[in-house]
Amino acid sequence: MEIKERILNHSATLFLRNGIKSVSMDDIATSMAMSKKTLYKWFENKDQIVLATMELHLDKVQGECASMAGHAATAVEEMMRITAWAEQQFSGMHPGIFYDLQKYYPAAWNLFAAHKNNFILAQISKNLERGMAEGLYRSDLDVDVLARMHLAQIDLMFNAELYPPGQFVPQRVSRVFDEHFLLGVASLKGHKLINEFRHVTEEE
């Protein structure tokens, strides 16, 4: 693997585990058993590493999301796959990452915000439209309003005042949000399919 890519992958692991602000260039070099001179040969400062790490991460995320949508047999299966994938993404993630990005790394934060407000919003809208066409979601959904509501839940999930990290891990909040949203938009036919995925039997 190219040295630059190794640095980015290793930095991403450190950021996810420890938060971004607390990880220094020294920390990255030491944990890679690399000289600071070599590290600075590839990146002038940590801001560059954070931005490049975000670019690499978002490119990977978009590819994985597109693949899940393409391989899912229904809109419900697509949403269930993405929910499970999101839980895995949030597992072990430091709760201060989004705060660090927004406060200290505006270029990387703006990149993430653009990804969220364009790519993720479009994916949610497409899923809602697909589910309506398949008869698995209610036919009277206001897609524009619901897609933005679901998007806003990403920010709510990492709101430390609303969900203190000591009480709520992100994957727990993500699971509840996604399940609540999916059951809310589902038709009776979709609800039955969701219960099959969840292995739940409800009395009618």
> Which has the closest alpha carbon to 108: 163, 64, 149, 47?
47
Per-residue pLDDT reduced to its tens digit, 169-186 = 888 898 899 999 999 999
| CA separation for the pair 165, 108 (Å, rounded) | 23
What's this model's pTM, rounded to 2 decimal places?
A: 0.88
Please report the domains of the chain, with CATH numbers, ordered by start residue: 3-198 (1.10.357.10)
Per-residue pLDDT reduced to its tens digit, 91-120 = 778 878 888 999 999 999 999 999 999 999
> What pLDDT, on a 0 to 100 scale, did the predictor assign at position 203?
63
Q: Crossing angle for the helix pair 170-185 and 75-90, nearest 10 degrees?
A: 170
